[in-house]
Amino acid sequence: MERMRRVFLVLLLGALFCKEVSAAQHVVGGSQGWVESADLNSWASGETFKVGDQVVFKYSSGLHSVVELASESAYKNCDLGTSVNSMNTGNDVVKLVKPGTRYFACGTLGHCGQGMKVKITTVSSSAPPSPSPSSSSSTPSTSPKPASTSGASSSITPFAYIVALLGTSLAYVFRVC
């Protein structure tokens, strides 16, 4: 029973991890949101944007907006005339569909010049942060913790078998998502 529970827990954690790896949501500015006072540069440099992730702009609709700019120079100069897209719902979701850099600024007069802009560089999602990309090395990486917490040493062999099975299924899960 105890063993089944552990297996279930690991699978559950695997599924949660899988979900996080496959699509993360990045709220621009963190808890502050899309506002002039947020340090958006620092926020962006602390995030890793991957293909499939979403960027969410949260703000008071009417006070701000989101304008996507076409180029680095437009971004630098706050040239809002080059906008390729604009949003103003206050909860705008942008999906990152391919690697590359995208430029966003606030459309309210003067806000971009005050620093209300952010550059999002998306990287390919083909390299997950998992330390074990191959299924053969994923088995030992998942086994030490459960094996060491197992009380009876006589149960290690069947338990190792379960862990091996688990490793394989986890590898399968990761490949699927």
Q: Which residues bind Cu ion (CB under 5 A)?
A: 64, 106, 108, 111, 116
Shortest reach from residue 36's CB to Cu ion, in Å: 6
Q: Are strands 100-105 and 66-69 parallel, antiparallel or unpaired?
A: antiparallel
Shortest reach from residue 33's CB to Cu ion, in Å: 11
Among residues 10 and 105, whose Cβ is nearest to Cu ion? 105
Shortest reach from residue 91's CB to Cu ion, in Å: 15
Q: At a CB cut-off of 8 Å and minimum separation 6, what does 81 contact?
A: 74
- CA distance linking residue 95 with residue 22, whole number of Å: 13
What does the block give as tokens for 105? 């600024």
- CA distance linking residue 133 with residue 119, whole number of Å: 30
Among residues 50 and 64, whose Cβ is nearest to Cu ion? 64
Among residues 10 and 38, whose Cβ is nearest to Cu ion? 38
Shortest reach from residue 26's CB to Cu ion, in Å: 18
Among residues 88 and 135, whose Cβ is nearest to Cu ion? 88
Tell me if 21 sits within 8 A of 177, measured CB to CB: yes
